[in-house]
Amino acid sequence: MKKVIFISLLLLTACAPLPDPAQGLPGTSGPQSTVGLPPAYTPTPVPPPTHTPQPTPEIQLSAQNPGLLADHVGDLAHLKGATRYSIEVEVTFDSEMRTAVLDGWAQIQFKNHLDNPLHEIYLMLWPNDPQYQSAMVAGPVFIGDKVIDPRQELNGLALRVDLALPLAPGETIDLGLPFRIEVETMRPSAPRRFGITEGVLIAPTFYPLIPRIIDDEWDIRRAPPGGDTTNSEIALYQLQVTAPASFDLVASGVEILNETLGDLQRLTYVTGPMRDVAIAVADFVDVSRQVGDVTVTAWVLQDHADDLDKVLDSATLQMQVLGDLVGPYPYPELDIVDAPHAFGGIEYPGLVFVGTLGTHWVVEPTVHEVAHQWFYGLVGNDQISEPWLDEAAATYAEALYYEHALGSGRATGFLSDLRAIVREHPDPTVPIGLPVGDYASDADYAVFVYLKGALFFDALRGELGDRTFDKFLKAYYEQYQYSFASGSDFQEVAEETCRCDLQDIFDLWVYEGGVISEFEK
């Protein structure tokens, strides 16, 4: 029965950190909804600007220095061509804080890195995805003295901006547009990535986002239910967020300016190189701790204040473990935000949401989401086509946490629990390397990508030996930090590190599947 509950909980998590079966599970009920706001719902159109906006001066790299630790400021020199966002947004609530409106302006500087000209630019409006309890409109688009009405595609998930003149290889374009997002309260039985939950506004990817270009084509795929949504390149962000002064405001990046405007507060942040950003607004209790030069802050509701030590103990230890085993965390801050019912947890660069505070299941979601700062945040991957690269890694990082916190016996027990669940599946031969939408169900996605995926990492460690496995993790991080890695990239680094052929183990576990003795009954 415990294992049935285990899988049921995984179905409710967009990013499913694995609970400790020995400690039990929080009570969870209700099916996962696959719809957001009602189909007939459309947000209020964005008010037109009162004047034609002028292009902003080029965002200087040096302005991003506070977003990185001193030892990592030099990383910016390698990111001169990264997309740059300057985003202003104001958050307002209704009197009962059941709905919110985000009105904003996004100025984006984008460079064409292709060898051929671009005739259009796409912008993703992720708050229109079914995993978000919100609806978004944006436009028109201002490019110099031109005003362009973008075309909606994918039912408003994507905007196509047709350019009057092609954007030549190596050239940069400066575009700006207003946007508006209307947000509603999420239901506990229908978790969401974006919405209001028990007085907390969680708002990730709240701006028009430039998608990746893959094989010379814009990546504007819909995200299948059950998995993560966004795929985006590393970018440089400056955020100016205005919100009621009576609330705490949390954002990816580092605060560089705090202004009081009567009943409002206006905070400005810079992020350094991040592939996405998020904000949260609520009345929090916060406590901070240091991990070297990094400030880790937990922001929790008053009702969950008893969990502060548990969150910070586990988060800071995981930061130390992965900093030693994988590579340094380059940002000055990491925020961990209490977000009830927002799945088990959801990761964003510099800020993670944990949805389980107030239950006995706190440590595992925390250490899993912290691990995503390395696997997804710093080393990117295609979360739709190859989700195992970050989810299996983050799940195995739970075992690494246990190994260092409680000893190898606890880590072995954790992996044994995962092995027992995979063994009970009717077909444990299914590979871990399928796209999210290719698994037969959300349960299969969870079992194979998270659980069997973590066991693949352990099998690879056994094949390489501890010392070589540690070298591999560091080499993988060093080669693909601030970039994207594919499964073949991952394999290539492993083979280069061990100077051996790993095709058989990758075929058996990742690409093709097959009978593995440890899963035989």
Distance CA 286, CA 108 (A): 33
pTM of structure: 0.92
What is the reported pLDDT for 172? 97
DSSP line for 6-74: HHHHHHT-SS-PPP-TTT------SPPP---S-TT--PPPPPPPSSPPPPPPP--GGGGGGGS-GGGGG
- What is the CATH code of the structural domain delimited by 1-31+285-521? 1.10.390.10
Q: Which residues contact 402 (CB under 8 A, 6 or more apart)?
A: 410, 411, 414
The β-bridge partners of 85 are 108, 237
The answer to whether 326 and 409 are in contact (CB under 8 A) is: no
d(CA 383, CA 392): 11
Rounded Cα distance between 6 and 175, Å, is 47
Ramachandran area for residue 195 (φ above 0: left; ψ -120 to 50: alpha; else beta): left
Q: Domain map of the chain by residue range?
A: 1-31+285-521, 61-283
Alpha carbon distance 353, 343 (integer Å) = 9
Of the candidates 163, 183, 170, 332, the one whose C-alpha atom is nearest the C-alpha of residue 243 is 183
* pLDDT score, position 42: 56
Q: Torsion-angle region of residue 198: left (phi > 0), alpha (psi -120 to 50) or beta?
A: left
Q: Which CATH number fits domain 61-283: 3.30.750.24, 2.60.40.10, 2.60.40.1730, 3.30.1300.10?
A: 2.60.40.1730
Where would I find the beta strands (DSSP E) of 112-191? 118-124, 134-138, 141-143, 146-148, 151-153, 158-167, 172-183
User: Residue for token digits 């473990």?
Assistant: 321
Pairing of strands 278-282, 248-251: antiparallel
Terminal Cα-to-Cα distance of the chain (whole angstroms): 19
Spatial neighbors of 385 by CB under 8 A, at least 6 apart, are: 435, 436
3-state secondary structure of 347: strand
Q: What is the CA radius of gyration of the chain?
A: 22
The per-residue pLDDT for 44 is 66
What is the model's pLDDT at position 58? Answer: 62
User: Do 241 and 314 meet the contact criterion of CB atoms below 8 Å apart?
Assistant: no
**Number of C-alpha atoms within 13 angstroms, CB side, residue 499?**
0
Cis peptide before 140 (omega within 30 of 0): yes
- Dihedral over alpha carbons 410, 389, 34, 398 (to 10 degrees): 10
Q: Return the SS3 of 427.
A: coil
Cα 492 from chain centroid?
A: 25
Return the amino acid letter for 29. Answer: S
Measured N-to-C along each axis, helices 408-424 and 453-464 cross at an angle, to the nearest 10 degrees, of 130
CA dist 481 to 55, 273, 349, 379, 475, Å?
A: 31, 10, 13, 5, 10
**Cα–Cα distance, 268 to 266 (Å, whole number):** 7
Contacts of 491 (CB under 8 A, 6+ apart): 502, 503, 506, 510
Tell me the pLDDT of the chain (521 aa) as tens digits: 334 334 434 534 456 544 443 332 223 222 232 223 333 345 666 665 544 555 555 667 889 999 999 999 999 999 999 999 999 999 999 999 999 999 999 999 999 999 999 999 999 999 999 999 999 999 999 999 999 999 999 999 999 999 999 999 999 999 999 999 999 999 988 899 999 999 999 999 999 999 999 999 999 999 998 888 888 999 999 999 999 999 999 999 999 999 999 999 999 999 999 999 999 999 999 999 999 999 999 999 999 999 999 999 999 999 999 999 999 999 999 999 999 988 889 999 999 999 999 999 999 999 999 999 999 999 999 999 999 999 999 999 999 999 999 999 999 999 999 999 999 999 999 999 999 999 999 999 999 999 999 999 999 999 999 999 999 999 999 999 999 999 999 999 999 999 999 999 999 999 999 999 999 87
